[in-house]
Chain A
Amino acid sequence: MFDHSTQPSGLPTSRRQWLQRFGMGFGTLACSDLLTSAAQGATSGSSIGMHHPARAKRVIFLFQSGGPSQIDLFDHKPLLNELHGTELPDEVRGKQRLTGMSGNQATLPLVGSPFSFAKHGEAGATISDLLPYTSKVADDLCFIKSMHTEAINHGPGVTFIQTGSQFPGRPSMGAWLSYGLGSENENLPAFVVLVTKNKGGQPLVSRLWGSGFLPSQHQGVRLRSGEDPVLYLNNPAGIDRSSRRAMLDALKQLHQMQLDAAPDPAIESRIIQHELAFRMQESIPEATNFADESEAVLDSYGPDAKNPGTFAANCLLARRLAERGVRFIQLYHQGWDQHGGLVGGIKTQCRETDQPAAALIDDLKRCGMLDETLVVWAGEFGRTNYCQGKLSGDNFGRDHHPRCFTIWMAGGGIKPGFTYGQTDEFSYNIADKPVHVHDLQATILHQLGIDHERLTFRYQGRRFRLTDVHGHVVKEILA
């Protein structure tokens, strides 16, 4: 792994040299793994894990963009209904900064959730009636009610949960995994992104699935719902598959002659990439075409499943990509940013996402893949227990709230039917077992067999990692 040629003894002589080797060693390790697997056209099995045995082979991240209201979905607080309309007590708020949107309000009246809650499954997870389908799979889920983040606005918030930093420029989680573990299927990208179509709300930006300073082959590949799922996937008009084959064969012969004259790994790599592209022209349409799915499966995801680009279709596509060995499948569903008109807004969101997300869990189970696939459902932060704007009857909104929010995880060696951490009676502060965004990231990497402190990349003079210098694996939620 180390290059000893410039140092015949092979032993680093100074601390600096040692650190340099050490630092570069990991970069080289990850890279060389990838190159070998690409060069051999083989799949890199990951059950061994990079640093310890892996519990999960891949991740499906159902990102709920905008900040879903924990108070109306999972974090039931009867006290808020009792105190409905009264002022948020100063001692609860403490020194929490508010956004510019509600920070200058004269009053901050508490709002109880208008939705009813019940306990579901044998484990008795509390879920509101907005999520009837999720309720049915509650025993497969692990709820973390004590998530907290540092960001109070969407841009930094989403960037933080995706990259471990509030500032743009770091690699996304999927890019780290592509870099660290490579792909299980060389005919598909390791990191795929699916964005629900026709959703507004807080904008998403393509750098969220960028590779930052990692080589750009690790950036997320967004599959679009149109003709060309991948940028320029299809041959131009007038060129069919046999014609493309002939063109590639000629190109390969030219490259082979060149290789014979002067060996160069760059040329070998070019041949491999052209061939891989040729295979992807078949493997991608094969993965995105639902023709071989049974009606029963399609029905389970709900009526949207046959409408490409919807959350339902993307959830089903996620399962198909997971089956085919895609390492990290990132879904985005926008529209959870209910500053006003929460009741109507959140109902729409739940109608679009509840059934497909629950169906995905069931479907993964049916295929025997849930234990090796880690599913994460999370937004970038939670929402306030007080009303943004004027509280009038059922018409209210909630502002951004970084101090606590609820997420769930399933499969991939996470304890099913389990609830971890809790908030105070106001769902404002965390009362027990806080989980920071970096802890979540450390835990996800851990399940994939990666020590989050050891997956690093050297850039601008220092080694970077997803969790920066923070993060602790949440051992209590591991099965």
Chain B
Amino acid sequence: MRQMVMSATYRQSSDASEEKRRIDPENRLLSRAPSFRLSAEMLRDGFLAASGLLDRQIGGPSVNPYEVTESFKPKNHDSGTGLYRRSVYTYWKRTGPPPAMMTLDASKRDVCRLRRERTSSPLQSFVLMNGPQFVEAARFLALNAITHCEGDGKDADSSSVIDHLFETLAQRKPSESEVDVVRKLFDAQMVRFEQDPASAEALLNVGVSKVKSNIPATRWAAWTVVASALMNFDHSVMRR
């Protein structure tokens, strides 16, 4: 095992030049590390963990997260920790499986699947950008990032919040130009929410988890938009 993981082949980057891709399109020659979109469960569990909402209890009965209300056979979602447990505990009805997980290529569990397809579709954008599970996670991820960077009680410097979000989601520091792009997004959203504070409140009301905070709603909402954008960034959804 040690020999394997220390080999040059295993430690390759998943980045590949066009020439490499042309010569070895399916990576049969192991010319690079594999890269693929994370599974439905990994995405949901990962974002819940990043937001601090994940319930880490092991075992117990199935739970009903938000998406069961949208199933082909709808039922009510839970109101407590059932919303935040790992996806392996999600209630499964084979005639109407959880629709967000279906959109993200989870198996229906009606027949044996040797491997899951990994697709990319616009419907996945809807789930990750608009689904209450993920919007709520973005909300808490933003809150944690601001709180983390406000050790001295001052308004957090935006670049340190961006650093924190990048490190949490993409496991790396952002480049300068990346910070610029994200900061511009944050500034624009701040302006917008200050003009329309009601929509900031509305965004912060998505999901059932409420928490009291001294952070102004406009700032929290603007960072929520940033967090949501970064949750959809390639490095957050792909294994590279």
Contact = CB atoms under 8 A, between A and B. Distances in A.
A296 interface: no
B77 interface: no
A257 B177 contact: yes
Contacts, number: 169
A257 B178 contact: yes
A330 to B, nearest CB: 14
Interface residues of A, number: 62
B123 A206 contact: no
Contacts of A247: 129, 185, 225, 228-229
Interface in A178-226: 189, 203-207, 210, 213-217, 219, 221-222
B181 A233 contact: no
B118 to A, nearest CB: 8
Given A215-B117, A250-B185, A231 B229 contact: no
Contact of A236 (B122, B124, B192, B203): B203
Contacts of A257: 175, 177-178, 181
B201 interface: yes
A238 B35 contact: no
Nearest to A279: B122
Contact of B229 (A168, A251, A262, A273): A251
Nearest to B26: A3
Given A216-B102, A236-B135, A238-B221, A277 B125 contact: yes
Interface centre among A230, A246, A460 (most CB of B within 10 A): A246
A239 B225 contact: yes
A273 B125 contact: yes
A238 B202 contact: yes
Contact of A254 (B70, B181, B204): B181
Nearest to A226: B70
Contacts of A266: 35, 37, 120, 234, 238
A460 B114 CA distance: 8
Contact of B130 (A206, A213, A234): A234
A258 B233 CA distance: 10
A277 B123 contact: yes
11 contacts: A206-B72, A230-B123, A231-B127, A233-B130, A237-B206, A238-B204, A238-B205, A254-B182, A257-B181, A258-B234, A460-B114
Given A231-B123, A231-B127, A251-B229, 11 more contacts: A5-B24, A205-B94, A231-B131, A232-B131, A237-B206, A240-B199, A247-B185, A250-B181, A257-B175, A266-B35, A277-B125
